[in-house]
Amino acid sequence: MQKIKNEDLKRLSQEEFKNAHKLPLILVLDNIRSLHNVGSVFRTADAFLIEAIYLCGVTGTPPNKEIEKTALGATSTVYWQHFHTTDAAIAHLKENHFTIYAVEQVENSYALHQFTPTPNQKTALVLGNEVYGVEQAIIHQCNGSIEIPQLGSKHSLNIAVSAGIVVWEFAKNYLPID
C-alpha cells in the first residue's frame, strides 16, 4: 500500500471545477460565528462539488485569512453568496424551487441514515449557529428537518463536522463515487 502523491490525485483546476456538474445541494450557514467552521464547510463543499454556499447574517465571508486557513483555496472554487438574513436566503431558495431541510434535532425529524433525497431534486440544508443551532423561525420555514443520530452524552456536533456528515450522505445518493 502506497500513499498517492498530490500530483497524481486528478484534481480539477479552478476552471474545471466551475464547469463541472454539481451536486444539486446548497448549504445555508445560519449565523455561524467561527470563521474556521466557515472555511471547513467551503473545503467540504469543494470536495463534493456542491452547487453553492449561502452565508447568512453574521457568518463571515471571503476574503478572510481565518476562513482561508481551513478552506485552503476552496473559496475560489465554490460559488457563495451572502444574504443579510437567513430569511432572505430561504425566500430566494423557495423562489427557485428548492426543498429546504434544517439540520437540527426537532420533533418528527428524518434520521439521516433513513433519509433518501429525491433524485435531481434541488435541496438546501440549513446548518445553525454553534451555540443556538438553527433558529426556530427558520425551522418553521423548512420542508422538514434532518437529524444526525448520536449515541453519546453530548448530542451535539461541530457545524463543520455536521456539514461533512450530511454532505457525504447526499453525495452517496447522487454521485458515481468509486
Reduced 3-state DSSP string for 23-48: EEEEEEEECCCCHHHHHHHHHHHHHC
pLDDT at 176: 64
Place of cell 473545503: 43
- Would 6 be classed as within a structural domain? no
For 163-178, write each residue's pLDDT tens digit.
Answer: 999 999 999 887 665 5
pLDDT at 119: 78
φ and ψ of 86, to 5 deg? -70, -35
pLDDT at 13: 85
pLDDT at 126: 98
- Would 1 be classed as within a structural domain? no
Cell numbers that stand for 162 in this block? 455536521
- Would 86 be classed as within a structural domain? yes
Indicate whether 51 pLDDT > 80.
yes
Q: Residue 20 CB: number of other CB atoms within 10 A?
A: 11
**How confident is the model over 95-106, as a mean pLDDT?**
97
pLDDT at 93: 98
- Would 157 be classed as within a structural domain? yes
The larger pLDDT score, comparing residue 162 to residue 154, is at 162
Long-range contacts of 46-49 (CB under 8 A, 24+ apart): 46/17, 46/74, 46/77, 46/78, 48/23, 48/167, 48/168, 48/170, 48/171, 48/175, 49/17, 49/20, 49/21, 49/22, 49/23, 49/175
Q: What is the CATH number of the domain that holds 44?
A: 3.40.1280.10
Is 162 exposed, middle or buried (CB count within 10 Å of its CB: 0-12, 13-18, 19+)? buried
pLDDT at 175: 63
- Would 127 be classed as within a structural domain? yes
- Would 65 be classed as within a structural domain? yes
Nearest-angstrom CA–CA distance, 116 and 98: 16
Count of domains observed in the chain: 1
pLDDT at 7: 79
Q: What's the whole-model pTM score?
A: 0.94
Average pLDDT over the chain, rounded to an integer = 93
- Would 138 be classed as within a structural domain? yes
- Would 35 be classed as within a structural domain? yes
Domain extent at residue 170: 12-174
For 68-90, write each residue's pLDDT tens digit.
Answer: 999 999 999 999 999 999 999 99
